[in-house]
Structure 1
Amino acid sequence: MIANKKTAETNGVSLIRLYLLRALYLLVIVGLGIVQWPVVIDHIVHQEKSWELMEGVVACMLTSFSVLSILGLRYPLRMLPLLFWELGWKSIWLLVVAFPQWTTGTMNDSTWETASACLLVVIFPFFIPWRYVFANYVKKRGDRWR
């Protein structure tokens, strides 16, 4: 009975795939913990200069992403939309902003630095259990509207 319950909860997603997802969430947590958290904490502690609008937005969004990724360690399948969001915005940014600049030879150091960080997203599709995604986000009936 317990084995059936576990299989039903994970819809046939293997334990290895769940650990791979957890490793991906952990990579996000550690990576942003090293890069983003010191920036946010330093800003909170010192507040010597205010952030530009987008600088503040990006810092807060990435910090929030790292915090939500902690839930991904416990609920790797339930938190998949978080990975979809990351995969989506980085892919769009790479295609719409970085790629045209790269192909025309107009990419500056700042854009190259951001593109390099965003390129990590290429590993995401290898970690995401696409059969589960198809079964639960495409084929499965959505929640009722009323």
Structure 2
Amino acid sequence: MNEVSLFRLYLLRAMYLLVSIGLGLLIWPQILFPSQPWELKQGVVLCMLAAFQLMAMLGLRYPLQMLPVLLWELAWKTLWLGVVAWPQWSSGTLDASNRANASACLWVVILPFVIPWGYVVRHYLTKPGERWRSAKGHAAVTPAA
């Protein structure tokens, strides 16, 4: 039984490709050819976005296994838009840099239409999680030294 249609898998792959190309063009030149030393937050953000881009590339091959990457994208952009951009916009204090970021983040409106929500519910919300301790009567597995 195929849980997710081939069409939906291609939509997911297209989303991963969009993220990969967009971030790849934006982030990697800054990482490979820095114009000056980075401050703490700038370095952290660039490295996190580069890692995110690499994870999105894995989504091209494994679109369902990498769904948490898209869920994270949906979560942080929705939070940022709601907690940072919306209050500033509604009070008339949205500055140019936050306006540019809000424009980039608004692409998140595509994600709810691409994510296979039935799959998400079955595999992340209703499926039993992994156990927290060893099974009764079985010795705990310890890594080889």
- TM-score normalized with structure 1 length: 0.88
1:108 partner amino acid = D
1:72-115 CA deviation, whole Å, 9 max, x = no partner? Answer: 01110000011111111111111000100000000110110111
Unaligned residue ranges in structure 1 (runs of 5+): none
Matches within 5 A, 1:88-127: 88-127=75-114
In structure 1, the residue matched to 2:60 is 73
1:34 partner amino acid = L
1:36-61 CA deviation, whole Å, 9 max, x = no partner? Answer: 11111111xxxx52112111111111
2:53 partner amino acid = S
- Do structure 1's residue 29 and structure 2's residue 20 form an aligned pair? yes
1:16-53 CA deviation, whole Å, 9 max, x = no partner? Answer: 0000000000000010111111111111xxxx521121
Unaligned residue ranges in structure 2 (runs of 5+): 134-145
In structure 2, the residue matched to 1:40 is 31
Matching residue within 78, 101, 123 for 1:136: 123
Q: Distance in 2 between matches of 1:95 and 1:38?
A: 30
User: How many percent identity over aligned positions?
Assistant: 58
- Tell me the number of residue pairs that the alignment of Structure 1 and Structure 2 aligns: 133
Runs of 4+ in 1 over 4 A off after TM superposition: none
Structure of higher CA gyration radius: 2
1:104 partner amino acid = S
- TM-score normalized with structure 2 length: 0.88
Matching residue within 70, 77, 87 for 2:74: 87
Q: Distance in 1 between matches of 2:93 and 2:71?
A: 29
CA RMSD of aligned residues (A): 1.0
